[in-house]
Chains A and B, each alone.
Chain A
Amino acid sequence: MRYVVILCLLWAHAARSQELTVTASVSQTAVTTGVPFEVRFTVNGQAEKFDPPSFEGFRVVSGPNQSTSMRSINGKTTVSTSVGYGLVAEKEGKYTIQPAAVEADGKTVRSNALTITVQKGTASSSGGSSGTGGSNSDRANARRSASASKQIFIRAVPDKREVYQGQQLTVSYKLYTNVQITGNMPGKMPALNGFWSRPLESTDQRTEWTEEVVDGVRYQVTVLQQYILFPERSGKLQIDPMEMTFVIREPIATNDPFERFFGGSYREVEQDLKSPAIPITVRPLPTDGKPEGFEGAVGNFSFTTAVDRTELKANEAVNYTLKISGSGNLQLIDAPPVRIPETIEQYDPKVNDQLTESASGVSGSREFTYLMIPRHEGSYPLPPVSFSYFDPVAKRYVTLQGDPYTLQVAKGDGSQPTVGFAPGAQRDVKVLDNDIRYIKTRTPRFSKEGSGFWGSGGFVVLLLAGPVLFAAAWVYRNRQRAQNRDAGLVRNRKANKAAAKHLAAARKHLNAGDKKLFYEAVYKGLYGYVADKLNIPGAALNKAYISEQLRERGVAEEIIARVEETFDLCEMTRFAPLSGISEADVYEKAKQLINDMEHGKI
């Protein structure tokens, strides 16, 4: 631009000699694609008509911007008008800007033609730079890609490269520079996908600079932004790059000794910076030994429980507080499961956080307060609540136990609804859950397979025992019966013989004239015969029984009468001598009777 000014001065001088001149000038003769530059046509004198060229190969991004200046040198006033166009080259190559034509006082004046060399620009600098052309003539609108410079860069520095899921890590985006920075523009903040992130707000506004040596080069270092990150899933995650644009001051090599003397000249360069992405390995939490009720807490914690009172009346409230303190993903911790007796009304817990976020992570405490209202009197045990977390340093799960409490609930005040005899006060027993019945604890009588009672040897033996015993009993009875019958038969057979013996004795007594013995022998013979015949014991023998037995056996009445008569006769003669009948007759009668009975088959 300096040259333009000089040219202008020269032409202004020339304007005095010439009536009208048109000069075309350009900010750069060598431009890059996509970067705007300015073409200016300066007319000395009053132009009536300005006819711009077609700008083939370029795109007009601004203009025509017209400006008029009046200068008075040595009493002579010069008016110059300039028309500027902002152009952007589309493609690389050599282009010619055709002359512009100006008409004044009936004459047409043409400007000079310009030749522009267009180079291919970098893609990164193609966007977002329009509009800056020409506005700041002192700043060369040079841009550099982040990789082009080793003098300034951003790095993401995590405090850990390998973490467990849920384990907190801090990442700092740091700016390393050994050039002077004059300004910056807001860049793109990292998205940090896969992490739950908390940006750390720095407390003081001043930027603190430290010195650090990287690859043997000393850099001024400052922290741009810090995040506390909690990986939400396991696997390979990445810390996204941060993009920022800085304006840096860069010295220009110059031949001018004066300029060098005054510290040289500088130009300001916009520098796009992008930090490299950092991979983070997130290991899943081990499944081995994962305690029941683990809710995903990772860090290092302590656990306390408290109840604001343990003795109260029915329908009064009690607060049950669980406090988890320590460092870790406190904000992500849910209330540990609390088993409160079903008869106590329980409300959702109130959460109270007291957290400090620092470069070392999140620490502090989280409090869960349950409001509980027992509705009935009694003693309610509150089993200890357990809280489990994973300690990433020790690489193991830790389960902490709270304290057990017992609430002593007394009868409520009269003002409160009490359980009385009001209708409808009864309630069904609520089935709260279902489960399988418990195992059998009574030891069964173990026996090897197939030795159940059914079909076993004992079973068969017992089944057979019934009929066998019955059969045996039947056979035994029958045999006994038969035996009895046989004994009767023998007696029967011997009856006649015995009677004959008694009668023979009677006959002897008759001949001897001993009447008493005679009758006794007859009596014995007859009695014994009947007794043997009927198989009845002698003791049971009397006249009536014998008659009955004989009648039962179907003996003729006539014979029975004769038996009775003979017996009577014998009985009588034993005590008194008989008249009217001789001993011989009695003897014959008895003999005849035995004979008849013998043939009568009794």
Chain B
Amino acid sequence: MGRFNWMSVWLLLLPAFAAAAEHPDSLFAKGNRLYAAGDYEGAATCYETLVTDGYQEAAVYYNLGNTHFKLSNLASSILYYEKARKLDPSDPDIRENLAFVNLGITDRIQPLPEFFIDSWWRGLLFSASLTTWSVVAVVCWLVAFGLLIWYLYAWQPRVKRASFYSGVATMALALLLLVVAYSQHRMQVDHNGAVVFSGQATVRSAPSESEKTLFVIHEGTKVQVVGQVKDWLRVSLPNGHQGWIKSEAVKMI
């Protein structure tokens, strides 16, 4: 009898466990299935559940961006693509789709010309994801120390010399890679980008409704947040224009 009771309790609990721990893989696959079937609302729900559960993956954000594009939520789509790009700046699909969706927004903003070394550096930084950079850097770092240890134990002068120089060179490379990874990490942390969500938002010269309107930006435009006073954000556009905007008009990336 006692065994029977235990069985029934277990059977009752089983579905609860299953529901609580729906595997992220299966949820992701379910979202993909719904997307393929054209049920974009359902797909969006799946992906959003993944995000709220803490699985913030570039692929999930990218798929959310696609889903919202299909639902014609332009601003949401841009927001999620930007989030995806923040996590994986090297992904060509994300960049491509973001560029495509950005064609649909009202504002055309000519970015300021960039110093060429800056663009090279940025190109280098974003040519691989943070994880890739950090893995390669750590491998280089360990190889460098391996070579130096070899140097300690080598007897033959030729081998000793070779291991020493190659060890030092690999160490320098590892340090450079660590700097690259760190820079990318800083860029992600200090990103502070935001996407305009209201149909149109007025940018004022100071954080007050009564101040002059400097310019008006529209849904989907990406801005850089450089400061905050109460519920006003100081934003900067890629073309260098700055002003104050109500914080509810935008969503942070």
Contact = CB atoms under 8 A, between A and B. Distances in A.
A467 B142 CA distance: 9
Given A438-B66, A452-B131, A463-B141, A473 B57 contact: no
Contacts of B181: 454
Interface string A427-454: 0000000111111111110111100111
Contacts of A452: 130-131
A474 interface: yes
Given A454-B134, A454-B181, A440 B59 contact: yes
A448 B55 contact: yes
Nearest to A460: B138
B152 A446 contact: no
Given A466-B144, A470-B145, A439 B134 contact: no
Contact of A437 (B24, B96, B142, B148): B96
A436 B97 contact: yes
A443 B63 contact: no
Interface in A447-484: 447-449, 452-455, 459, 462-463, 465-467, 469-470, 473-474, 477
B249 interface: no
B145 A446 contact: no
B227 to A, nearest CB: 26
Interface in B78-93: 93
A426 B70 CA distance: 36
Given A434-B100, A443-B25, A446-B24, A454 B131 contact: yes
Contacts of B69: 436
Interface in B1-43: 24-25, 28-29, 32, 35
B149 A449 contact: no
Contact of B59 (A442, A447, A463, A477): A442
B57 A436 contact: no
Contacts of B57: 444, 446
B115 interface: no
Interface in B49-68: 50, 54-60, 62-63, 66-67
A465 B28 contact: no
Nearest to A465: B142
Contacts of B133: 454
Interface in B135-189: 135, 138, 141-142, 144-145, 148-149, 152-153, 181, 185
Contacts of B58: 444
B252 interface: no
A469 B144 CA distance: 11
B55 A455 contact: no
B153 A459 contact: no
A43 B172 CA distance: 139
B141 A466 contact: yes
B237 interface: no
B201 interface: no
Contact of A446 (B55, B100, B185): B55
B66 A439 contact: yes
A448 B52 CA distance: 10
Interface bin, chain A? 20 to 34
B101 interface: yes
Counting chain B CB atoms within 10 Å of each CB, the highest count among A439, A454, A455 belongs to A439
Given A438-B66, A449-B56, A469 B35 contact: no
Contacts of A463: 138, 141
Contacts of A444: 28, 57-60
A462 B142 contact: yes
A470 B66 contact: no
Contact of B35 (A439, A449, A455, A473): A439
B185 A455 contact: yes
B184 to A, nearest CB: 8
Nearest to B67: A439
B145 A469 contact: yes
Contacts of A435: 100
A440 B131 contact: no
Given A463-B138, A473-B152, A440 B62 contact: yes
Contacts of A469: 145, 149
Contacts of B100: 434-436
Interface string A154-184: 0000000000000000000000000000000
A455 B55 CA distance: 18
A448 B144 CA distance: 32
A290 B229 CA distance: 47
Contacts of A436: 66, 69, 97, 100-101
Nearest first, the 4 A-B pairs at minimum CB distance are A466-B145, A446-B24, A440-B59, A439-B63
Interface of A: 434-444, 446-449, 452-455, 459, 462-463, 465-467, 469-470, 473-474, 477
15 contacts: A437-B66, A438-B66, A443-B29, A446-B28, A449-B56, A453-B131, A453-B134, A455-B185, A463-B138, A466-B144, A466-B145, A470-B145, A470-B148, A473-B153, A474-B152
